[in-house]
Structure formats: C-alpha cells, structure tokens
Amino acid sequence: MAEVLVYVDHVDGAVRKPTLELLTLARRIGEPVAVALGAGAESTAAALAEHGATRVLAHDASEYADYLVVPKVDALQAAVAAVSPAAVLVPSSAEGKEIAARLALRIGSGIITDAVDLEAGDEGPVATQSVFAASFSTKSRVSKGTPVITVKPNSAAVEAAPAAGAVEALAVSFSAQATGTKVTGRTPRESTGRPELTEAAIVVSGGRGVNGAENFALIESLADSLGAAVGASRAAVDAGWYPHTNQVGQTGKSVSPQLYIANGISGAIQHRAGMQTSKTIVAVNKDAEAPIFDLVDYGVVGDLFDVVPQLTEEIKTRKG
C-alpha cells in the first residue's frame, strides 16, 4: 500500500490533536508515515504509533526554532524524496499552510488548503473544502504531482489504530534560503489552562454585547462550567476586551466544535466564516432580528447578563 506523509504538529514532543486526526484521514488513502521535526521530535513516536503511524521520520536541529518556515520545508522535501508518498498531509495552521505551499511548489505539485474531509478517489485523494463563509462545499483534487493537502482541525475523529511507529532518523540538508528569516525573539503565550480554541469540543464566545473586558469573566465562567474554550468576535477583540488569539472568524481562528455558544454576537458574515461549520450552534442575543439566529439550533432572545449567569449556575447544579 502507498505511504502517506503526515507532518506532525507538536510542542516539545507533545503531539497536538489535529495531527492525530490527520493520521485517521491518512489511513483512508494509504499507510501513514509521520514526519516530526525539532526539539522532542523522537518523543512523539509513542502517540503517533498508537494512532496508526507505521514509521516516524524524526530530525532535530536548532534551525527549526531559529529561522522561519523554510528549514521545515527543506526537511519535508527530504522526507518526500525518501518516501515517494502518495500524498502529503499537513495541519491547516497558518504556518502549516505556508510550509505546505512551498513544499508543493518545490516538488512540482498542486496544493489544496483547509480541507474538512478527505477520501480516496480514482485519480487520487478527493478533498472537501467549506468555502465562501461555509455557504458552499467543494470537492477538489490535486491534478499535478503528489497531492499536498492541509486539513482543518476537527475534520475527523481521532481513532486509535496501533502500528509499529518505528523511529527513523531523517537526513536533512538545509537550503541556502533556510537561514533567510531569523527568529530574534520569542515570547511564549501564557497557558490559560483551557482547551486550545481550534481543537476544543465546545467553544463559548463573546461579542460586542459583552460590553467590557471585565464582563468577559461571565463568558469564562460559562466556558469553564462546560470545559470549553473561549472565543471572541472581532468587535470584542478590537475593543481590547479579549486577546486577538481568541478571535473567531475570517481573520481569526476557524473553529468547528461540537457546540458553539455565541453571546452578544450579531453573526456578521466574517464571523460566520469562522464558526458556521460547528455541529450545534446556540446564541444568546437581545435582538431577535440578529442574523446569528438564522444559524442556531437553539437561540435565546434576551439579555446575556441575565441568561449567561443563570445558564452557568444551572450547568453547575446539573453537573453536581
């Protein structure tokens, strides 16, 4: 069976969930071979093996942390040369898309970004994309070269499928471009202890209706009662009430959780672009005409300052 390369997104060896989802999708089109780079690369192997990686190609070098994007492209290109895969799958993060694009160009292949599903087809893997703010679904394939496809988080269920996952050293020689863009400083983001926004099963968001940074505590309490991530509309972010990294929408994160709860958010097209594929959508908004209500499975027309605390209390009571 053909091998499929899966680029591993990990933090010091801890594999992030979207990569495990990719392994599930990769098994539909071939045998997953994982490529893990940077500090902790080898310690990803156990998690990857448990989810179906037959081999783990690992490589660490200071270049991955010290320079932007290109060293990772060099490594992935070396992996493609070593494996001759049927396809290359990369998680759809901002960096993942840049890596995938440069790789595709180098190996003479087309690229599809932000797939939400993947299946085997007669002429190679067929990717489903959710486009135009999720109002259309398209099916596409790469018609030239080795398909390079980036896949959005929450596009497949993580399935255990034990495989060998033997670690092999990947030989990488860096290109002249590799050291072009220096990372001269790095400030790690402080962890909130809440789930990662794009990976969370439940997202609770607040918009302009939350009316102040201090009131976001209400949104956070509701999120914590459900074990959810916190999101925000651009209006809330631009007002400085919540960090930009939590923005949901076209210029923020795309989320596709099981449950999305929008509080004081009108539902502008650019916000919908980032959350419309959520499985169940709930909204609290005092304006019955707000466009968000066109999307909801359940909506409460009311003041969020009344509804949200009551909801949080009720959830806590029910959870005992």
Ligand X SMILES: Cc1cc2nc3c(=O)[nH]c(=O)nc-3n(C[C@H](O)[C@H](O)[C@H](O)COP(=O)(O)OP(=O)(O)OC[C@H]3O[C@@H](n4cnc5c(N)ncnc54)[C@H](O)[C@@H]3O)c2cc1C
Three-state secondary-structure class, residue 95: helix
Dihedral over alpha carbons 102, 103, 108, 114 (to 10 degrees): -80
3-state secondary structure of 33: strand
Q: How far is the C-alpha of 302 from the C-alpha of 287, rounded, in Å? A: 7
Q: Does residue 299 bind ligand X (CB under 6 A)?
A: no
Q: Which is nearer to other proteins, 42 or 66 (CB)?
A: 66
Nearest distance, CB of residue 131 and ligand X, angstroms: 4
- Integer Cα distance of 57 and 7 in angstroms: 10
Amino acid at 155: S
Q: 10 Å Cβ neighbour count for 261?
A: 27
Task: Evaluate whether 277 touches 260 at the Cβ level (below 8 Å).
Answer: no
For other proteins, the closer of residues 43 and 97 by Cβ is 97
* Per CB under 6 A, 111 contacts ligand X: yes
Residues 242-281 contacting other proteins, CB under 8 A: 244-245, 250-251, 258-259, 269-270, 273, 280-281
Using CB under 6 A as the binding rule, the residues of this chain from 133 to 172 that contact ligand X are 140
Asked if 204 contacts 232 with a C-beta cutoff of 8 angstroms, the reply is no
Measured from the CB atom, is 62 or 245 closer to ligand X? 245
Q: Which of 315, 68, 31, 320 is nearest to 185 (CA)?
A: 68
Verify binding: residue 303, ligand X, rule CB under 6 A.
yes
Nearer residue to ligand X within complex by CB, 20 or 70: 70
**Residue 44 DSSP one-character state:** G
Residue 83 binding: pick among ligand X, other proteins, none (C-beta 5-8 Å cut-off by kind): none
Instruction: Report if residue 198 touches ligand X, rule: CB under 6 A.
Output: no
| Count of beta carbons in the 10 Å neighbourhood of residue 14 | 10
Binding to other proteins by CB under 8 A, coded x per residue (else -) over 34-53, reads --------------------
Query: Looking at the chain, how many residues does it have?
Result: 320
Q: Which stretch binds other proteins (CB under 8 A): 22-30, 81-89, 101-109, 155-163?
A: 101-109
**Residue 32 engages ligand X in binding (rule: CB under 6 A):** no
Binder of other proteins out of 39, 46, 105, 158 (CB under 8 A): 105
**In 10 A of CB 244, how many CB atoms?**
13
Window 130-159: residues binding other proteins (CB under 8 A): 130-145
Instruction: In angstroms, give the least distance from the CB of 205 to ligand X.
Output: 8
> Taking the complex as a whole, how short is the minimal distance between the CB of residue 169 and other proteins, in angstroms?
25
**Which of 5, 163, 234, 242 is the binder for ligand X (CB under 6 A)?**
234
Q: Please report the sign of the dihedral spanned by the C-alpha atoms of residue 306, residue 309, residue 311, residue 317.
A: negative
At its nearest, how many Å lie between ligand X and the CB of residue 79? 22
